[in-house]
Structure formats: C-alpha cells, structure tokens
Amino acid sequence: MEIKKTSKRILTCTLAALMLAGAAVSMPAVIPQSSLTVSAAQTYGDFEYEVKNNEVTITSYKGSGKTVTIPSTIGGKKVTAISYSTFGCCESFESISIPASVSFIEGYLFNSCSRLKEINVSQDNKNYCSFDGVLYNKDKTTLICCPCSKKNITIFNGVKKLENLSFSRCKSLTEIKIPDSVTNIGEQTFSECENLKEITIPKNVSVISNYAFFNCVNLTDINVSSANKDFTSYDGALYDKNKTTLICCPGAKTNVTLPDGVTNIPCYSFTGCPKLKSVRLPDSLKKIISFAFYNCKSLTSINIPDSITSIENNAFYNCENLKSVYIPKSVKNIGEKAFGFYNLSGSVTNDSIRKVDGFVIKGEKSSEAEKYAKENGFKFVAQIALSSVTLNKTAMSLGKGETTKLTATVAPSNAADKTVTWRTSDSKVLTVDKNGNVKAAGTGTAWITARTINGKEKSCRITVKNAPSKVTISKGTVTIGVGEKFTVGSAVPDGSAAAKRTYRTSNSSIVKMTRTDWQGDFVGVKPGTAYVTVKTYNGKESTCKVTVRSAPSSVTISKKAMTLKVGQTASLSCSVPSGSGCASRTFRTSNSSVVKMTKTNWTGSFKAVKPGVAYVTVRTYNGKESSCKITVTK
C-alpha cells in the first residue's frame, strides 16, 4: 500500500489556502504551476496563445459559445499544447473538441467548466482519446479528466490510474463505480464532488493520494472491497489495512469514532468535514498533529484520552463552536493556537484572528492545560481526574428489536465532571443514545462502551438473537399455602433471546408479586385461584395457574422408620392435611456421615453411608415437621 505525499506542484497553493483561509474551506486553490515556458501572448479568434520552438500553446479562451473546437494550427504553426489556465473562468460551454495535433494537456484544465458535458478527441490523436465524453490517455490506462456536469459515468474497464483532480468539482456527480482494474487514485481526485454520497474502493487499489475525497460534504461512506489488501473501512471512514492510520473521513460525518489501534491522524484529516460535531479518539493515539481538525466549524465535542502527550500547533484552529475542552494531565505540550482561535475573515491578519467567545479549558491544577489557558487568556476550570468507570452490566443477550438501559458509574465520586459518552462497535447490531439507552438493531454481537472525558472506558458485550416466537413459563400449575413464597422462571426457543420479561398476577389479593423482572416471585395471600403471567418485550405470553390453600397445620412423612444396608438408597415423600397447600418441602439428615441426602426438595432421596442411626426430617415452609428413623447396617 502507498499513501502518496502531495507533490509540490499541487500543494503550492493547497496548503497555503488550508492554513491561512479563515472563511469556509471550499476546494483549495490547487491550480498547478505551469510547466510550459512560452513567449508573449497573441490572439486568434476567441483564443489567446503563445509560441515556442515554432509550436503553439493555447493559454486562454474568451468565447461564450456552447461548443469549443481547439484549432489544429494557428498561422501555419501546429497547436501542440493546452495550458491549465485556458478555461479557468469558462462556465458557458458544454462540449469541446481536441484535434490530433495536441500532444500535451496540463492538469486541472476543465475543473472550472461547470456545464461541460463531454470532451471529444480526434481519433488520430496519438496521446489522448475520449470514452463516454471523458478524457483518457491513448491506451485508456489513465483517466485524465471527467466533465464537471456528468451525473453518472462508466469508467473504462482497463483504467489503472485516476489522475490528480480528474473528478474535482464534478458537483453533479451522484454515483460512480470504480472498476477493479484501477490501482491508483490520484491527489484530490474526487475533491468537492459535493453530491457524491457513497463510493467503494475496489480490490486492486494500492495507492490513494492525499485529499482524494476532500470536501465531499455529502459523502457518508467510503467502502472498501473485502478483497483489498491495502485499505479497509470502519464506520464509513477510510484506513490502512491494519487500521493504524486514518486516510480520509467522509465529509458528511457528524459523529466519528476512531477504532482502537489508530496511531496516526495526518494533517487536515478532518478539514473537509464541515458537519462534524463530535469525535472519539482511541487510547492508542499519542499525539494530535497540526491542523488535524482545522476548520471543523461544527465541532462541539472532543474527548482527549490520557494517552495523548502532545497537541500540536493549530490542531483545532478555526473550530469556533468548540466552547470547552478537557485536557488530561498526560498532555505535556500544547502548540500555538491549538485551541480557541479562529479567523473572522478570509484574510489572515492580526485583526482577523479571534478568540472563541467564552472558551473554557478544563484540567488538573499545575498542568499544561492550565499553563496554556493562562498564556492565552482563556478561562481555566480545575477538575479532579476521573480514574475509572464501571457498568451495571458487562455481558447480556437481547432479542432483535429489544431495548435496555446501561448505567455507568464513575470514580472518584467527587470528580468535577462525570460526563460519560456512549458508543457502539457496530451500529448495524446495536445503537445507543447519549443516555445509555440501547436498542438491538440486528442479530450479531457488538460492544457498547461508556467513556469518560479523559478516556476511561468500560464495555458491555451484547449478543443479539432473533426475537422469540413464544415464551414458556417453568410451571403450568402450582398449589401453595397462605404465606408461602414461590418462584417461576421462563424460557424462549433456542436461537432467540428476551432480556426483558415481566411477570404479573391476575389477582393481587390472592397472589401478590414480590419480583416481576426476569423471574416471577410471589406469595400466597388468601385461599383462591389466580394466574401469574410472563410477557416478553415483543408481547409473547405464558401463564401459570396458582391455587392458594390454607397453610398446613401438620405434615406427615411417608414412613416413620426403615432399615438400610450400607450403599443402599431410598426415598421418602410426605403429605399435608386435605384443604391445605404446600409447594415448598425440604428434607434434611441429622447425620450425613450415616445418611447422605441426594435430593432435598418435594421428595427426600438419600443413601446409606455407614452403620448407625440418623433421622430424615421433612419441613414445610411454615415450620411443620415430621421425621423418619433410618437404621443403617453392614
């Protein structure tokens, strides 16, 4: 993989515009320095031209017609070149024809021609050709320029390179499919394609040069073929394959979460993102480089983790809506105008540089944050650093469409700012709002993470399964006594889940619920019949019939005495008087070295261990007892 450094030819004006312009950053001034050396300008019809070595270079067009035809000769001299400046202000013509004589066309030639629909090239031209109105080199391996008014184009399958600025300012372009033959995407290739919403990088692309998608303000997703070996996408943004370097963030993004492992966000990474409001930086990041968030005028929130040691010059310059920031004590360097400054106008003078009104820096006392605030005249608010965050749940399952709420607790409790932000690792599986309310959007597994202002995190692993088609309560019928407590659970089919299950009673004067979530706990109040019903989040129900009878006045064990040999097993049951109820009956042994219990509820099962005498006793919920004498022999 190669991420190309921007050439001097294109960056001559680009960086100056980015670093100095205070007004909204539109397409930077990227007109290259001309490589042509020619004589003084002369006029031929609507053209201006210059001559060198007996060959003509077209330098300017002054006409207003809808079609333009480049002459093949002027004054008997062959027209061999067209300078980049020729059509700099031409927005009237819709088509252009290039003769066979032209052997050199400078880049950025038609990027201001907003109505241009097609570029035609003579079939006899040995250097260039056109396909579907688009300009290519002769063998169609390099796409040189797409007419600005094109909405949809088919790139010739065989093209290997998209030349620098080849689609720049194609503001009508809404969609494009890049063929698998492409390996190289040049500098600012799609810059200012403001109606482009989505794009996919094919499998063979190994070079993406700087600012390839700069200021694509409606681009929501940059997708990458799963077969590509050099690049990948995460949450719609473009990264190297290992997700260590952010290459491009789509201009339409409002909230961005950089994945764990990112160590590099280059200069101007977010400059073309005018809608960006908040960013989550990972703990793997050590510094925020100069101009990384330059001109993000919608940015209102940034979390700086305590892995950051340096924030370089102008990192957040011109972020005029960023009103406050917490800077952890780990930051040892804050560069000039890193925060709190913006330009009032397009020209940069001492009068145009302004401070963000009411800008507040938060941090610990005697920190670099406090020093920066004092040196630049900003308000400083001292805060105790947060040391940890915990969640009420760290793992759970949900059914598709189900909702739940996660609660975060931060420490220490006397920290001044306990703000926690939430994020999901996969919005197609789980969504989460600013209050920790989670919704299962699709099946799969994802993590919901709570993050403090200084980067402390805790996650909950959530598996989303199908919504349950039914629910089955653990008991269909049960008889209990007055005052007796009982619990029912429930189950959903394999492959489904329902974290939210609520239990209710049909008559609280007979059966009173004492717990209604996940399991149903209830108590018998008076004799009668009531129904306990469980209901899932998606409305599936199952019911248990509960009969309440009088509390038992006694209990009778099934045998009063028995003899067993060592190793033998036996069971005992019991009964209560007619008209009474008792679901909870427990059995115990008086000497487990002689008789060992193997079952203690409802019936009592046991095993003879060694010779001796022990008593097995049954006890009801209200304390009534009955015993059997067990004699164990060899």
pLDDT digit string (tens) for 366-416?
A: 999 999 999 999 999 998 888 889 999 999 999 999 999 999 999 988 876
pLDDT digit string (tens) for 275-323?
A: 999 888 998 999 999 999 999 999 998 889 889 999 999 999 999 999 9
Answer whether residue 162 shows pLDDT above 80.
yes
Backbone angles phi, psi at 42, to 5 degrees: -130, 170
Q: Which of 622, 528, 542, 531 is nearest to 583 (CA)?
A: 622
pLDDT at 107: 76
DSSP states along 401-443: T-EEE--EEEESTT-S---EEEEES-TTTEEE-TT-EEEE-SS
Specify the higher pLDDT residue, 566 or 255.
566
What distance in Å separates the CA atoms of residue 634 and residue 145, rounded to the nearest whole number?
A: 101
10 Å Cβ neighbour count for 74? Answer: 17
Answer whether residue 14 shows pLDDT above 60.
no
pLDDT at 349: 59
pLDDT at 430: 97
Q: Using 50, 70 and 90 to split pLDDT, how confident is the model at 61?
A: very high
Answer whether residue 343 shows pLDDT above 70.
yes
pLDDT at 2: 47
pLDDT digit string (tens) for 418-427?
A: 889 898 989 9
Mean pLDDT of the 204-210 span: 95
Mean pLDDT of the 201-224 span: 94
Q: What percent of the chain has pLDDT above 70?
A: 92
* Amino acid letter, 191: S
Against a cut of 0.95, is the pTM above it?
no
Mean pLDDT of the 188-213 span: 94
pLDDT at 386: 82
Token pair for 182:
């492409």
pLDDT digit string (tens) for 487-540?
A: 999 999 999 999 999 999 999 999 999 999 989 999 999 999 999 999 999 999
Answer whether residue 154 shows pLDDT above 60.
yes
Going 180 to 186 to 188 to 192, the CA torsion angle's sign is negative
Answer whether residue 599 shows pLDDT above 90.
yes
pLDDT digit string (tens) for 99-150?
A: 999 999 987 788 889 899 999 999 999 999 999 999 999 999 999 999 999 9
pLDDT at 347: 54
pLDDT at 345: 62
Token pair for 278:
């908040």
pLDDT at 41: 77
pLDDT at 16: 35
Going 19 to 22 to 26 to 28, the CA torsion angle's sign is negative
* Amino acid letter, 7: S
Token pair for 581:
């109820």
pLDDT at 273: 92
Q: Are 197 and 173 in contact (CB under 8 A)?
A: no
Token pair for 629:
């004498």
pLDDT at 9: 34
Q: Are 632 and 565 in contact (CB under 8 A)?
A: yes
The radius of gyration computed from the CA coordinates of the chain, to the nearest angstrom, equals 38
Q: Are 480 and 585 in contact (CB under 8 A)?
A: no
Q: Helix or strand or coil: residue 230?
A: coil
Mean pLDDT of the 243-247 span: 95
As separate numbers, helices (DSSP H) first and strands (DSSP E) second, the chain gives 2, 60
Specify the higher pLDDT residue, 324 or 453.
324
pLDDT at 40: 62
Token pair for 627:
């015993």
Specify the higher pLDDT residue, 34 or 171.
171
Q: Average pLDDT of the chain?
A: 90
Specify the higher pLDDT residue, 37 or 79.
79
Q: Using 50, 70 and 90 to split pLDDT, how confident is the model at 167?
A: very high
Q: Using 50, 70 and 90 to split pLDDT, how confident is the model at 357?
A: very high
- What are the residues whose beta carbons fall under 8 Å from the beta carbon of 17, sequence distance 6 or more? 25, 28, 29
